[in-house]
Structure 1
């Protein structure tokens, strides 16, 4: 579905909003625990091979700017999550792949890709 969204220039929101498509973790931290959220190394590996490696200093917009914009459109409540996107290097995944996402000072989230059987 992302390809259709890209071709039609629609926001990717629809293609990133399926049930179970937003694993979060390995833990949630308060803004008080991160001294500088605009200077954290981020990395994504697929089957232990680095596919993405960057730093939050390369975000297009700083977090206060994002929050100012978002709160003009949506009501934000405690516990809400804002996903900012990822650096270049995305690619297809398949059942059996091990995906590991890491952010400095937070940790690493590891997930194995599974294909759920269709239930009638």
Structure 2
């Protein structure tokens, strides 16, 4: 029996001077910067970081990103993103994990999974990818309407990218098309429709977009 509809094409992310990267799935890491753990009310206990997923359709490229439904507390989290190819990491870029913090907090209180706060359409904003090895050091920053909110260093990661890839591989064998969001430094905060967001990681193409009302 054939499809009764045409399945959606792969979501594709531009790669500088290399065409497009077809996204298969998005694997995200939580609790990978000690200061962010503390600002969320926790402590770095040395436990494994949290792993969760977003669907490929969560990718948003801008320049406009719609404010998601069912939340009044949307937060930004700037992250280094690694793109996996047939032989391992082939490119990297600046990403923002958007989080419906109120829904995530409710899920935590109930002891449930985080999908309702994380795995929504347009919840994984991503800039142009740069081919080659990802940076292992340098600044990672985010500003909203010109005001700096997040200003950290990649060296502050509790687990490095190779360590994260090894950890993820124990549970979800990595495959070509995977994107890995590696965690966020401290300074996360709310966004509103009309906000302009600019994010950067030293050595990678910058990311900027405008948050618009979902009815716009």
TM-score of the aligned structures, taking structure 1 as reference length: 0.82
| Structure with more strand by fraction | 2
Please say if 1:18 is aligned against 2:120: yes
**For residues 170 and 176 of structure 2, what CA distance do their matches in structure 1 show?**
16
**For residues 68 and 2 of structure 1, what CA distance do their matches in structure 2 show?**
27
Query: What SS does the corresponding residue of 2:193 show, helix, strand or coil?
Result: coil
Shift of 1:62: 0.8
Shift of 1:2: 2.2
Equivalences for residues 76-91 of structure 1 within 5 A: 76-91=174-189
RMSD across aligned C-alpha pairs, in angstroms?
Answer: 2.0
Q: What corresponds to 1:30 in structure 2?
A: 131
Gaps of 5+ in 2: 1-102
Q: What corresponds to 1:115 in structure 2?
A: 213
Query: What SS does the corresponding residue of 1:81 show, helix, strand or coil?
Result: strand
Please say if 1:55 is aligned against 2:153: yes
Out of 70, 74, 92, the residue aligned to residue 168 of structure 2 is 70
Cα distance per residue 1:72-115 (max 9 Å; x no partner): 11121223111112111111110000111111111211111112
Cα distance per residue 1:16-74 (max 9 Å; x no partner): 2211110111x212343x4xx22121000000100000110001101111001101111
**For residues 155 and 115 of structure 2, what CA distance do their matches in structure 1 show?**
23
Please say if 1:3 is aligned against 2:101: no
User: Which structure ranks higher in relative contact order (CA pairs < 8 Å, sequence separation ≥ 6)?
Assistant: 2
TM-score of the aligned structures, taking structure 2 as reference length: 0.48
* Structure 1 pair 64–13 and aligned structure 2 pair: CA distance change class (3 A): farther
**For residues 88 and 8 of structure 1, what CA distance do their matches in structure 2 show?**
25
Shift of 1:12: 4.5
**For residues 137 and 115 of structure 2, what CA distance do their matches in structure 1 show?**
26
* Structure 1 pair 14–30 and aligned structure 2 pair: CA distance change class (3 A): farther
